[in-house]
Amino acid sequence: MDERAIRLEGAAQLLEEAAKYIDVIKYSPTHRQMVNAYNRVIPRPLGYTLQVSDDWCDAFVTYIGDKLGISSLIGRECGVERHKNIFRRKGIWQGFHTNPLPGDIITFHWGGQRHGYAHHIGFVESVKDGEVITIEGNTTVNNVSQVARKTYSLNSRFIQGYARPNYSSIKF
């Protein structure tokens, strides 16, 4: 199997795992289990113990990475801007001017600043017809914080950029 096929297989496994959590609501037993699992991995980012009341989009990304054993590939964080810096250090940050692929990690700035402090993070599930479909933790649907699919225009001013992990280097 070539490197591209292996990367696609790894991305598919990651997205399959992330999709299992769609509709998980903040404060639910599954959300609490995710927070507890995040906190069990030592050292914690900045030594911080995540609380169930905290924003948890990046904790969701980290939790999925931990669960699949790819934390060394994507890093562990609960702060999106710090995670973006990890992506840069790992050489996987692509920025905005790239065509996203399934399995990429997407970051957002709700004020529309491409280079501002990142506010939100999720996984790219698919790209088609000029739109990117994501799976995100701590996103709001009907005024409820949960894991959900979201759709954005590829040129949305809120998208800061993408990290592209090299899933072909990991044995799932």
Count the alpha carbons within 13 Å of 139 in the hemisphere toward its beta carbon: 22
**Domain 3-169 CATH class label:** alpha beta
Task: Specify the pLDDT at position 115.
Answer: 85
DSSP 8-state code for residue 131? E
Question: Would residue 131 be called left, alpha or beta, if left means φ above 0 and alpha means ψ between -120 and 50 degrees?
Answer: beta
Three-class SS of residue 150?
strand
Task: Specify the pLDDT at position 172.
Answer: 55
Q: Band the pLDDT of 24: cuts 50, 70, 90.
A: very high
Asked if residue 160 lies in contact with residue 96, where contact means CB atoms within 8 angstroms, the answer is yes
**Nearest CA to 104 among 12, 1, 38?**
12
Q: pLDDT tens, 54-96?
A: 999 999 999 999 999 999 999 999 999 999 999 999 999 999 9
Burial class of residue 62 in the structure, from the number of CB atoms within 10 Å of its CB (0-12 exposed, 13-18 middle, 19+ buried): buried
Whole-prediction pTM: 0.94
Three-class SS of residue 120?
strand
Domains of the chain by residue range = 3-169
